Amino acid sequence: MPLLVPPAPSGTTFTTTRPAGPAPVPPAEIPPERLLYEETLPGGAGWSWSLRRHLTLRLTALENGANVSLICFNRHDLVDRYNMADTLKGQHTAKLTAGYILVSDMGRAMLSITGDTLGWHDAISGHDNAGIVRQKWGERSYQAARNEWFQNSRDHFLMELGKHGLDRRDLVANVNFFSKVTADDEGVMHYVPDHAKAGDFIDLRAEMDLLVILTTCHHPLDTAESYSPKKVKLQLWRSDPPGPGDWCRKYRPENERAFFNSEVLYI
Amino acid sequence: MSTLNYTESPLAPEKAAYRHKIPAGDFWIHKITAGQSVRIVDLEGNQAVDTIFYNAGDFAEYYSAQATIRGQRCIYLTTGTKIISSEGNVMLEITADTCGRHDTLGGACACESNTVRYGHDTKYMHACRQNFLMGLASWPGAACHLNKRDIPANINFFMNVPVTPEGGLMFEDGVSAGGKYVELKAAMDVVCLISNCPQLNNPCNGWNPTPVEVLVWD
Ligand SMILES: [Zn+2]
């Protein structure tokens, strides 16, 4: 085990874009010998998983307009969790795409975006809840509709959090993969409908052992005429651990320091 | 630069029920009851006032940055903005604002995030999240133990953090100045937790933390 020493500080000069070479192209088809697990989530579902370090979670939109709302936690210390502001300000971005990392409130790289066919994922708009769904599409009772009833991200987050001993104190700001929301000069937010097309995917490599919680409910600003959350495929695959020259590690000096903060967990 | 929204308050400082100066780099925690108004004054200009609100009867209901910007469909906070909780309830409304724009995406500084942003040599510098932890630890009214789990995204009063149409996040020079203020009227009983940011690495405040004043009217 080599001695871990913090990377040298870069001072307070901020550079805005600095991909270290071209983005690596993830395999369009995961090699069968690397594929470990696969599951299709219906629209309006919740899911949680202990994701081991250096495995990659691939999310694939199976229908146009899919959305995946996600939060994550340090598997061994659940108080250490995804932090929207630390992720965004550390990388000077309001959107997420390949090269960026999700950062915890302890300054640790949690997930690296190692592959992305879309170029824009929403990190600021939050998740939907029963009130938002009711206001847009009305109500559909379980007794009348059985599993075709209307569901929402907040309820699924709370249910999955509860399975791991967590509660609404832990329901942090989330990411919405496959969705795009822009802000104009006045700060007004604009939702882009049907941003994701069937087949679009994103690869998320765990940089530490994680508890990942996600839902496939509607984006909270979705303008769809009817309640119609979309199917998403989940795949876990054995990716290569990030070496010293890893593209996400080198994407920004901030990322390298966040990788360091994760790696000291494994001394 | 897009337009800024200025609104003055009719409330007179000498009629305030409570006045307190928060020293540079310090924290403040205080209950504001429904109907009261709280004003935060940026005494010397471009001081970041990192602020969280909790439901005074239930700290598990807290300020939500995402619900607030989604509720207004706008990433900036100013007069008319309703401060929305994690449960979707209106906690307060901004009733006056002579600064014109406030940020809620940039979050609070922390020793750990400072190592990421500025380098590991900044790890032992004082930071907002330490102030928040001190504030929570000192609050006698809390019905349960409060800790880092209870620190959600916060408001940065007087900070200017624009998002570009391309999705970039910029840290612009402040739009605030000495004497500018923001005022909020409480719609429920809330506990207000402020870290008067001690950040010494960010040019936004000219590397110079300064005091702010809070006033409360019945
Ligand atoms: Zn701070």
List pLDDT tens digits, range A195-236.
999 999 999 999 999 999 999 999 999 999 999 999 999 999
Q: Which residues surround ligand 1, an ion (CB under 5 A)?
A: B 109, 128, 197, 199
Q: Are B184 and B91 in contact (CB under 8 A)?
A: no
Identify which of B107, B168, B85 has the alpha carbon closest to the alpha carbon of residue A183: B168
Q: Which helix (DSSP H) or strand (DSSP E) does residue B82 occupy?
A: strand B82-84
Q: How far is the CA of A202 from the centre of ligand 1 (A)?
A: 33
Q: Are A81 and A164 in contact (CB under 8 A)?
A: no
Q: How far is the CA of B199 from the centre of ligand 1 (A)?
A: 5
* pLDDT digit string, tens, across residues B142-171: 556 899 999 999 999 999 999 999 999 988
Q: Is A19 on the interface with B (CB under 8 A)?
A: no
Q: Is A17 on the interface with B (CB under 8 A)?
A: no
| List of chain B residues whose C-beta atoms are within 8 Å of the C-beta of residue A195 | none
pLDDT for A16 beyond 60: no
- Is B112 close to A107, i.e. CB distance below 8 A? yes
Q: Outline where DSSP puts E strands in B151-211.
A: 155-157, 180-186, 190-196
| List of chain B residues whose C-beta atoms are within 8 Å of the C-beta of residue A16 | 168
Q: Are A264 and A74 in contact (CB under 8 A)?
A: no
Size of interface A-B (CB pairs under 8 A): 159
- Residue A187 backbone class (left: φ over 0; alpha: ψ -120 to 50; beta: rest): left
Tokens 């199976």 locate to A62
Predicted pLDDT of residue A240: 94
Measured CA to CA, the distance from residue A224 to residue A112 in angstroms comes to: 30
Predicted pLDDT of residue A152: 97
* pLDDT digit string, tens, across residues B174-216: 789 999 999 999 999 999 999 999 999 887 777 889 999 999 9
Identify which of B171, B67, B66 has the alpha carbon closest to the alpha carbon of residue A131: B67
Predicted pLDDT of residue A192: 97
* pLDDT digit string, tens, across residues B29-48: 999 999 999 999 999 999 99
Q: How far is the CA of A136 from the centre of ligand 1 (A)?
A: 38
Predicted pLDDT of residue B143: 57
Residues 33-72 of A with CB under 8 A from B: none
Q: Are B22 and B196 in contact (CB under 8 A)?
A: yes
* pLDDT digit string, tens, across residues B86-121: 999 999 999 999 999 999 999 999 999 999 999 999
* pLDDT digit string, tens, across residues A108-150: 999 999 999 999 999 999 999 999 999 999 999 999 999 999 9
| List of chain A residues whose C-beta atoms are within 8 Å of the C-beta of residue B168 | 16, 92-94
Average pLDDT (A178-190) is 96
Q: Are B196 and B27 in contact (CB under 8 A)?
A: yes
Question: How many other β-carbons are positioned within 10 Å of the β-carbon of residue A212?
Answer: 22
Average pLDDT (A17-42) is 86
Four-point Cα dihedral B41, B47, B50, B51, nearest 10: 10
Measured CA to CA, the distance from residue A85 to residue B65 in angstroms comes to: 10
Task: Pull the structure tokens for residue A224.
Answer: 């769809």
Nearest chain B Cα distance for residue A35, angstroms: 33
Largest CA distance in chain B: 47
| List of chain B residues whose C-beta atoms are within 8 Å of the C-beta of residue A108 | 112
- Is A16 close to B153, i.e. CB distance below 8 A? no
Q: Is A74 on the interface with B (CB under 8 A)?
A: no
Identify which of B97, B184, B119, B131 has the alpha carbon closest to the alpha carbon of residue B24: B131
pLDDT for A11 beyond 70: no
Predicted pLDDT of residue B129: 97
Q: What are phi and psi of A54, to 5 degrees?
A: 75, 0
Predicted pLDDT of residue A23: 76
Residues 108-127 of A with CB under 8 A from B: 108, 120, 124-127
Interface test with A, best of B113, B132, B160 (most A CBs within 10 A): B113
* pLDDT digit string, tens, across residues A155-169: 999 999 999 999 999
- Is A167 close to B162, i.e. CB distance below 8 A? no
Find the CB nearest B105 among A16, A88, A184.
A88
